């Protein structure tokens, strides 16, 4: 293990909050709800990022939106992410959720989804650095907790301004910046540009968290080595794979590259996830959401293609459990 790899297992300090390790679950709509975050916490995630929440919906006191703010004591560090484009609304929303026991507040400036971008929110803010700074300042003034920001490399190839936006974030009071090494125009295609993460790290004095194309221990180590970043954020590689945090930690501890979990372990995880989701959201919603999770969990396993063709047969927890047991056990 090189010195950077050994250093990576040390705690990561973000403002007043200490992460046990620098390996972070990225915010993902439709994925990082409470049950999945609990699973990732149990398997070693240093911090969980919640699904992005509309600041405006908070101010409207939307019940469904408030339900998304639930946090479990099992989550060692939880980051609550808001999105919006109006500084006054952002500040008001932050004040209204002061009683929610989150640890870090994050502002989304990276979401590439058209309905968000078309409202001037998410990655659209990469085109308006001044407004981005005003949003951060409003949030910082409204809470004593650390405020972080998640950005992209830029909006498109002609506007790769992550360094500029990150500098404004720091000057506006942000305690850390996470950088996804793709532009909004790329969405999730192509390779992440780790060089721009390194450029942001060279510019800032606050922690920088790298995001993009980390899928295992070796790639996490490579990102830390090549960019000098302080933390690693894992997104799509964690879908159907909450074990990724355990395996990355194992690699940093002794260099072991951990393989896929056994078929039995995967089955048990699906069952546990399904039961937790039913308890959290009710059977009807939970089982329909679990269909996508099961597709992610089973990818790459023997007979998984046939299993995935039958996923829609599950419409109750009992039928889900019966279907999962049809998978061959090693």
The DSSP H or E segment spanning 82 is: strand 78-83
Is 111 a catalytic site residue?
yes
Contacts of 60 (CB under 8 A, 6+ apart): none
CA–CA separation, 9 and 23 (whole Å): 9
Contacts of 290 (CB under 8 A, 6+ apart): 270, 273, 274, 277, 314, 320
CA 162 to centroid of chain Cα atoms: 19
Question: 94-127: string of b/e by CB count within 10 Å (b at 16+)?
Answer: beebeeeebbbbbbbbbbbeeebbeeebbbbbbb
Neighbours of 156 (CB within 10 A): 15
Among the options 40, 49, 111, 229, which is catalytic? 111
**Token pair of 38 as six digits:** 């609990």
Active centre residues (catalytic): 111
């Amino acid at each position: 293990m090189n010195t950077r790899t050994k250093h990576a297992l040390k705690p990561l300090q973000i403002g007043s909050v200490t992460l046990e390790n620098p390996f972070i679950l990225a915010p993902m709509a439709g994925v990082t709800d409470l049950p999945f975050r609990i699973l990732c916490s149990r398997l070693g995630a240093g911090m969980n990022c919640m699904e992005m929440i509309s600041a405006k919906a908070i101010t409207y006191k939307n019940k469904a939106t408030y339900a998304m703010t639930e946090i479990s004591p099992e989550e060692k560090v939880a980051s609550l992410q808001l999105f919006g484009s109006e500084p006054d609304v952002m500040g008001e929303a932050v004040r209204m959720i002061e009683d929610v026991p989150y640890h870090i507040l994050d502002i989304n400036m990276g979401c590439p989804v058209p309905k968000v971008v078309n409202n001037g929110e998410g990655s659209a803010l990469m085109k308006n650095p001044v407004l981005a700074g005003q949003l951060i300042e409003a949030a910082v003034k409204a809470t004593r907790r650390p405020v972080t920001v998640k950005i992209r490399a830029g909006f498109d190839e002609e506007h790769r301004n992550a360094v500029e936006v990150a500098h404004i974030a720091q000057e506006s009071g942000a305690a850390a910046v996470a950088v996804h090494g793709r532009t909004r125009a790329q969405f999730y295609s192509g390779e992440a540009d780790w060089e721009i993460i390194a450029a942001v790290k060279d510019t800032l004095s606050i922690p920088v968290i790298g995001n993009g194309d980390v899928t295992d221990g070796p790639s996490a180590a490579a990102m830390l080595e090549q960019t000098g970043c302080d933390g690693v954020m894992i997104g799509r590689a964690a879908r159907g794979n909450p074990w990724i945090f355990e395996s990355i930690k194992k690699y940093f501890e002794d260099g072991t590259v951990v393989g896929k979990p056994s078929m039995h372990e995967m089955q048990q995880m699906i069952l546990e996830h399904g039961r937790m989701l039913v308890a959290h959201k009710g059977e009807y919603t939970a089982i329909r959401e679990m269909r996508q999770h099961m597709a992610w969990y089973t990818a790459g396993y023997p007979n998984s293609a046939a299993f995935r063709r039958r996923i829609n047969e599950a419409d109750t927890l009992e039928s889900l459990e019966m279907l999962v047991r049809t998978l061959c056990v090693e």
